[in-house]
Amino acid sequence: MRYLIRKFGFYLVALWAALTVNFCIPRLMPGDPVEIMMSKLGQKGPVTPETRQSIEALLGADSSRPLPRQYGDYLAGLATGDLGVSVTFFPASVIDIIGRTLPWTIGLIGLATVISFLAGVGLGTLAGWRRGSWLDNLIPVTTMFQSVPYFWLALILLFLLGSVWPLFPLNGGYDVYTVTPGWNGEFLGSVLYYGALPALTIIVSSAGGWMLGMRNMMVSTLSEDYMLTAEAKGLRPGRIMRRYAARNAVLPSISGFAISLGFVVAGSIVTEAVFSYPGIGSALLQAVGGNDYALMQGIFLIITLAVLGANLLVDLLYSVIDPRIRARS
């Protein structure tokens, strides 16, 4: 129980830190984001005083309100879910844009990451179990994929499978001409088809890392005393591998999974850019390109919250599969 309280406490502090970073960045940076946004918004349509107020609360007004007051306004605005209005997608609000793009990203990045983790851990288990086998000797090759930048691999795959042998579409999230979004088979099929190449990119470039980590932990675990016990007990090798070796070796991989989520998100923003995928990463880049500071800050906040949430989830999962954590209270 104390473990859980500690964890929740930590994530609260981290959440506060993320909100504060989000508050500070626009105020510390050179330039006047509010004015830039106001003039851009003015070109698109009339700006109401409420809109101006909420943007000022987010990005910092040069009307000389003391910082603590500004901080209070900012938090109050966030509490009501007001993240301002987007310039790029005027008159849509930032929350709307996020709501529209986030499912795409979670579907693509989330699924691809989980698949890559499972595949990497599975292969790593086998490689560590049969040290010196061909699979084990393949590991340096697979980790080379890790040092290939996501977006470059994506470019090469696009070049080969999109242009040279046109098996997959070049960009987008689904076929916008022939398919209507909704819960119908055609649309889902199209989504899968369009998502295959981006997902493949993410899997190929990240599975190697999981595989290496798991392999190394397996090797360390194999020399533990309880492995010898399991062997002396005459258990079947498959059972020893799963319940004794892999069950222990996977623990660091899981905590490593939490840590590297941030990197995964980063890599996928760039991947989305290559494939013009209609996810949150592309929206962030559009926002950056169009000086749409409100949308930018909003997306940054959401990405951070998502990573924090995913970390918390992994921590909870960890406490379920490692009995020692539960008892350390």
Partner 1 sequence: MTRPVLTIENLSVDYLVDPPVHAVKDVSLTLRRGEVLGLAGESGCGKSTLAYGIVRLLKPPAMITSGRAVFHSPEGHDIDWGDLGPEDLRAARWDKISMVFQGAMNSLNPVISIRDQFEDIFRTHRPALRRRERRDRCGDLLERVGVDRARLNSYPHELSGGMRQRVMIAMAMALEPQIMIMDEPTTALDVVVQREILREISRLRGELGFAVVFITHDLPLLLEISDRIAVMRQGEIVELGDALDLYTDPRHDYTRQLLASFPSLTGERGSFVRGALDDRLLALDAIDAGAAKETS
Partner 2 sequence: MTADTVALTAPVTRRRPTWPPLTAKLAAGLILGGAVVLFGLLGPLLVQDPSRVGDIGLAGPSGDHLLGTTQTGQDVLAQLAYATRGSLIVGAIVGVLTLLLSAFFGIVGAYAGGWLDELFSLFTNIVLVIPGLPVVIVISAYVPDKSLLLVSLVLAITGWAGSARVLRGSTLSLRGRDYVLACRVAGEKRWRILAVEILPNLIPLLASQVVFAVIFAILGEAGLSYLGLGASGSFTWGTMLYYAQNGLALRLGAWWWFVPPGLLLALFGAALSLINFSIDEIINPKLRSQTRASRRGWRMSSEQLRKAKESTL
Give the residues lining the site for partner 1 (CB under 8 A).
224-226, 228-236, 239, 243-244, 247-248, 251, 321-324, 327
Q: Residue 46: how many CB atoms within 10 A of its CB?
A: 7
- Asked whether the beta carbons of 105 and 191 are under 8 A apart, the reply is no
| Residue 42 interacts with which of partner 1, partner 2, none, CB < 5 to 8 Å by class | none
Place of tokens 């609360």: 57
SS3 2: helix
Sole binder of partner 2 in the list 270, 319, 322, 326 (CB under 8 A): 270
Which listed option, partner 2, partner 1, none, makes contact with residue 243 (CB within 5 to 8 Å by class)?
partner 1
Total residues at interface with partner 2 (CB under 8 A)? 70
Contact of residue 37 among partner 1, partner 2, none (CB under 5-8 Å per partner type): none
User: Judged by CB, which is closer to partner 2: 188, or 266?
Assistant: 266
Q: Is 6 or 233 the residue whose CB approaches partner 1 more closely?
A: 233
Radius of gyration of the chain (CA): 24
Considering beta carbons, is residue 46 or 132 the nearer one to partner 2?
132
Tell me which stretch binds partner 2 (CB under 8 A): 71-79, 82-90, 113-121, 141-149.
141-149
Q: Which residues contact 88 (CB under 8 A, 6 or more apart)?
A: 286, 287, 290, 292, 295
State the minimum distance, in angstroms, from the CB of residue 254 to partner 1: 12
Q: Using the rule CB under 8 A, is 143 a contact of partner 2?
A: yes
CB 31 within 8 A of CB 328: no
- For partner 1, which is the closer residue by CB, 3 or 10? 3
322 vs 215: CA distance, rounded Å: 19
In angstroms, the CA 34 to CA 39 distance is 9
| DSSP annotation string for 183-195 | SSHHHHHHHHHHH
- Least spacing, CB of residue 117 vs partner 1, in Å: 19
Q: Which stretch binds partner 2 (CB under 8 A): 46-54, 75-83, 125-133, 179-187?
A: 125-133
Cα gap 94→293, rounded to integer Å: 10
Omega prior to 91 cis, within 30 of 0: yes
Decide if 242 contacts 221 (C-beta within 8 A): no
Q: 83 to each of 7, 41, 253, how far by Cα in Å?
A: 28, 15, 36
CB of 136 to partner 2, least distance (A): 7
Tell whether residue 125 is a contact of partner 2 (CB under 8 A).
Answer: no
DSSP structure string for 194-234: HHHHHHHHHHHHHHHHHHHHHHHHHHHHHTSHHHHHHHHTT
Residues 280-309 interacting with partner 2 (rule: CB under 8 A): 284-285, 287-289, 291, 293, 296-297, 299-300, 303-304, 307-308
Of 82, 83, 108, 28, the C-alpha closest to 60 is: 28
Figure out which of the listed residues 44, 118, 159, 317 binds partner 2, where binding follows CB under 8 A.
159
Query: Computed from CA positions of residues 2, 7, 20, 94, in that sequence, does the dihedral angle turn out positive or negative?
Result: negative
Q: Cα-Cα-Cα-Cα dihedral of 58, 63, 67, 71, to 10°? A: -30
Partner from partner 1, partner 2, none contacting 8, C-beta within 5 to 8 A by type: none
Indicate which single residue of 89, 104, 117, 150 sits in contact with partner 2 (rule: CB under 8 A).
Answer: 150
Judged by CB, which is closer to partner 2: 22, or 187?
A: 22
Query: Residues in the site for partner 2, rule: CB under 8 A?
Result: 10, 13-14, 17-18, 21, 25-26, 29-31, 33, 129, 131-132, 136-137, 140, 143-144, 146-153, 155-156, 158-159, 163, 216, 219-220, 222-223, 227-228, 231, 237, 240, 258-259, 261-263, 265-267, 269-270, 273, 284-285, 287-289, 291, 293, 296-297, 299-300, 303-304, 307-308, 311
